[in-house]
Amino acid sequence: MGIVRIVISILLGVSPVWLSAHDLVSQAIPASNIDHHYETMLINALGNIRDNQVDQALADLKHLVKVKPDFKLAQLIYADLLLSRSRPITDFGNFSALPHEYISALRDEARARWQHHLSPPDEDKIPEFLVQLSNEQEYVITVDLHASRLYLFQNHKGTPRLISDFYVSIGKNGIGKYEEGDQKTPIGVYFVGDSIDPEILPDFYGDGAFPIDYPNVWDRRHNRTGYGIWLHGTPTDTYSRPPRASNGCVILSNQDLNTLAPYMQAGKTPVLLANEIKWISTEAWQASQQQYVQFIEQWRRDWESRDVESYLRHYAKDYSGLGKDYKNWVAYKRHVTPSKGFIKVNISDTSMFLYPGEQGLLVVTFDQDYQSDNFHRRFIKRQYWRREQDGKWKIVYEGSVS
């Protein structure tokens, strides 16, 4: 095996299956015309190296580091190729002056970018946990934390449609945030908040930041602490950071952050952070959606029926919400329901997401319009449904969305 192939096999940590540059380009093209120019240039250069077209790879990388000198990964690969022309090299980043941690981190970035382009998601498939989007949710963001990849979906007549994806960095200590300062990225269902103007932020955060609502209700129920989990950019002298380089935030290049910004609506755009994404067919997704719609509709009907015991069977014994635990909730409903002449409940603009990292947990949000003969209230409600050991789904939390 030639020296360049040795370097690239070390770099990528994969078996040497050779792809043509044409094959790489066809796989790397995103689902829309959103600009991925610099990453595509890097991928094409790696493809040329694997095809032993070293001169073309050098030309590609020379141009890339000229137009994007802060792309540190590209700089290192370019330097390795130049060095290999004068003497044998045995590893990725053949520079003794560079710390091992620095080289290792860039190698991880190369692997993450390369593996995504070798195995891009099928545009006709949908992440399993995107059960249903509301009419108000024009876009949804999912992040595969293991793969260091963020996916942007558009709500196309109720069906999530992949429109683009972006490389990201996550917490230095991985995933599953539990306490303040653990430098881990949380797993769960969150929503974007108001953007933070880069003018009031240190350069470290790049071209701005979008907070998410960590810790959410489920986090607080499990005593998870910490705050300030953002989607944000990179310093002005850094195009991208290694896969694990943040204090818990999700980091994009400034270019990608600015590209993504118009698609994020404060309080509406969901951000689902998952260890990894399970992709399913549209047919499987539709079947799954119908399953969840049915038991939520049954809950609504049982409430309207004024059969309080049928209604209460939808609540778990460890339920808490609306200021009451299960015991007080049962007592309250048994007291007030018989006094109602009628109950009418309309729910609309419903979204449903399976909670990443949890077996059998569903987050449901909807606009609830409740009317009875002596009371009327309309508000946005959020529920957490859990599948019990007997297979039945029950509510473990519900409350209003401020």
Residues 371 and 270 in one domain: no
Which residues are registered as beta bridge partners of 171? 246
The pair of structure tokens assigned to 396 is 């473990």
Provide the angle, in degrees to the nearest 10, between the axes of the packed helices 37-50 and 54-67: 160
Residues 143 and 274 in one domain: yes
As a whole number of angstroms, the distance between CA 233 and CA 139 comes to: 20
Residues 189 and 268 in one domain: yes
The pair of structure tokens assigned to 28 is 């790397």
Q: For residues 313-330, give the mean pLDDT.
A: 96
Closest CA to 253 of 79, 28, 44, 42: 42
Q: What is the pLDDT of residues 118-158, one digit of tens each?
A: 889 888 899 999 999 999 999 999 999 999 999 999 999 99
Say what percent of the chain tops pLDDT 70: 88
Residues 192 and 64 in one domain: no
Boundary of a domain, candidates 72, 95, 118: 118
**Confidence band of 48 (pLDDT split at 50, 70, 90):** confident
CA 138 to chain centroid: 16
Contact 182, 249 (CB under 8 A): no
Residues 272 and 142 in one domain: yes
Residues 257 and 286 in one domain: no
Q: For residues 83-105, give the mean pLDDT.
A: 73
As a whole number of angstroms, the distance between CA 243 and CA 240 comes to: 9
Q: What is the pLDDT of residues 188-234, one digit of tens each?
A: 999 999 999 999 999 999 999 999 999 999 999 999 999 999 999 99
Boundary of a domain, candidates 279, 301, 329: 279
As a whole number of angstroms, the distance between CA 220 and CA 384 comes to: 13
Position 276 scores a pLDDT of 95
Residues 111 and 9 in one domain: yes
Contact 234, 251 (CB under 8 A): yes
Boundary of a domain, candidates 64, 84, 118: 118
Is the preceding peptide bond at 215 cis, omega within 30 degrees of 0?
yes
What is the residue range of 71's domain?
Answer: 3-118
Say what percent of the chain tops pLDDT 90: 77
Residues 34 and 108 in one domain: yes
What mean pLDDT is reported for the chain? 89
State the total domains in the chain.
3
